[in-house]
Amino acid sequence: MADEQQIPVFQIQRVYLKEASLEQPNSPAIFLQQEQPSIDIQLGVAADPAAEGVFEVTVTCTVTTKIKDKTVFLVEAKQAGIFEIRNLPQEQLGPILGIACPQIVYPYLRGNVADLIQRAGFPPVHLAEINFQAMFEQQQAQQAGSSPIITQ
């Protein structure tokens, strides 16, 4: 019985769209513009305990497109997952929450963002693949107060 309690557990409980918003402050005039918009994409990852051995991992994306100083559209989305993680050494928990879990959640975020933008009447913006390991290592280096080893 005691051995069963020490078996590492990693299970996906649920993946869900936590939040999504779309703003088109300059519509419909912006649809008549012929210029290519500039696109700025910001990503973030957060992990929070939800219960004993259960964590919510959220990947957040903000896509801002502009033509000159006018916003074409602004999309903000949060895709989350609930993960049961038990009986792991503490030093392994950070990489699981910062790398493995976001890798599971991110494809859902990519699809939802592309779909939302396309439904708004624009060509979809396809978010690039992300190296969550490099992102995690950079974040760890910044928290340690040293210069990042890997930059993006």
CATH number of the domain bearing residue 63: 3.10.420.10
- For residue 35, give its domain range: 8-143
Distance CA 14, CA 61 (A): 19
pLDDT value at 1 more than 70: no
Confidence of residue 141 (pLDDT cuts 50, 70, 90): confident
Question: How much is the pTM?
Answer: 0.85
Q: How many domains does the chain have?
A: 1
Which secondary-structure segment (H or E) carries 93?
Answer: helix 90-95
Query: Dmax of the chain from CA atoms?
Result: 69
- For residue 151, is it within any domain? no
**pLDDT at residue number 146:** 56
Residues 6+ apart with CB under 8 A from 116: 20, 22, 75, 77
- Element containing residue 139 per DSSP (H, E): helix 132-143
In a domain, 104, yes or no: yes
Does 99 map to a domain? yes
- Is 152 part of any domain? no
pLDDT tens sequence across 84-134: 999 998 899 999 999 999 999 999 999 999 999 999 999 888 999 999 999
